[in-house]
Amino acid sequence: MAKELEGKTRRVVSPVADICEAGGKVILRLEMPGVSKDDLDVKIENDELIIEGKREPTDSKGRFIIRERRNADFARRYTLDDTIDRDKVEAVMKNGVLHLTLHLKEASKPKKIEVKTK
């Protein structure tokens, strides 16, 4: 009973994220240690980028002498604006780090407007 309840009420934390933009691409780097490729779910739903990763619960057999790691799953959501191409999202999972590459739409790449002085 307790175990069942524990499974349902498992906590969720935000993965540590780095976001940068370079060469028409937006690159997200999310640290999700303990999440394998198969336990990861990345989707776009109604202008929202949803990233969810499940990981094994920490070992409950035995006595904890030090407990610093969070016994929780990972989840984070981002809103996307119209400049992001929904059909061109690349995701690579390596060593517990998710690398997401979002491409900016060709048409919405900013055109530089020259500012003149009179």
Among 99, 103, 104, 105, binds other proteins (CB under 8 A): 99
Among 3, 9, 46, 59, binds other proteins (CB under 8 A): 59
3 state SS of 91: strand
Q: Is 68 in the site for other proteins (CB under 8 A)?
A: yes
CA–CA distances in Å: residue 31 to residues 13, 18, 46, 65, 74:
11, 9, 24, 25, 9
Closest to 103 measured CA to CA, from 44, 21, 18, 29: 21
> Given the rule CB under 8 A, which of 2-10, 25-33, 82-90, 110-118 is the region that contacts other proteins?
25-33
> Given the rule CB under 8 A, which of 22-30, 41-49, 81-89, 104-112 is the region that contacts other proteins?
22-30
> Given the rule CB under 8 A, which of 2-10, 42-50, 58-66, 107-115 is the region that contacts other proteins?
58-66
Residue 12 in tokens = 């969720």
Using the Cα atoms of residue 75, residue 76, residue 82 and residue 86 in order, give the sign of their dihedral. Answer: negative
Binding site for other proteins (CB under 8 A): 13-14, 16-23, 27, 29, 31-36, 55, 58-59, 61-70, 94-97, 99
